[in-house]
Amino acid sequence: MKVLSVLFAMGVTALLSGCATGGSTDAPTVDPAAQAVTTYRIGVDDQLQVTVWQNPDLSVSVPVRPDGKITVPLIGDVMAGGKTPEEVAAAIKEKLASYVRDPQVAVILTELRSHEYLSRVRVTGAVRQPVSIPYRQGMTVLDAVLAAGGTTEFAAPDRTELFREGRNGVTTPYAVRLDKVLQKGDLDTNYPVQPGDVVTVPMRSF
């Protein structure tokens, strides 16, 4: 996958003007900002482009090693696994500040190479064909449900939930109003999915 084809990279250019503050909810309710749902966390084998403005010698394209770290010229190892590109850029900026005056750092995810198992999205419950599908950049809950053939006549689509494991190992459910997405074109809860997500469509009560 070429860099030009993946500068899709979720708009994750991490100019160090601010780090993402992602969070998680405590209950299976919709997060209005959906911040925790839209934040991608870097995995082992992902390819990163680190750019230091006006310092090409410090810019590098590197894979994330099995220990979760990348190596950056001048400052050495930086932890990247489990972090957002913005968080990695912030760490690099902090270390470079000892050598470079006010460094401006960008980190871009150029290739998604995380382990195949972790890079899948699963759809279960009252869908026509429960599936485990490869993650693709830009994929949403609706894309995943359609890949599963859509919901069955026994589904309760407005009780659909998106389950995501956080960096602390705790799985958080997010409410998806799938009926509104499918029938009314209301995309407020048509969240972008991430590798490892599970979308569950429950059956309605009789």
Q: pTM for the full model?
A: 0.50
Query: What are the sequence ranges of the domains in the chain?
Result: 3-111, 120-201
Q: How far apart are CA 39 and CA 42, in angstroms?
A: 10
Digit-coded pLDDT (tens) for 98-144: 999 999 999 999 887 765 556 789 999 999 999 988 888 889 999 99
Which CATH code is given to the segment(s) 3-111? 3.30.1950.10
What confidence tens digit (pLDDT) does each residue in 13-65 have?
A: 333 333 333 334 333 344 433 445 556 788 888 899 999 999 999 999 999 98
Query: Which one, of 130, 174, 142, 133, lies nearest residue 24 by Cα?
Result: 174
Superfamily of domain 120-201: Outer membrane lipoprotein wza domain like (3.10.560.10)
What are the start-end ranges of the E strands in the chain? 47-52, 60-63, 69-72, 76-79, 105-111, 120-125, 131-134, 160-165, 171-176, 198-201
Would you say the CATH fold of 120-201 matches that of 3-111? Answer: no
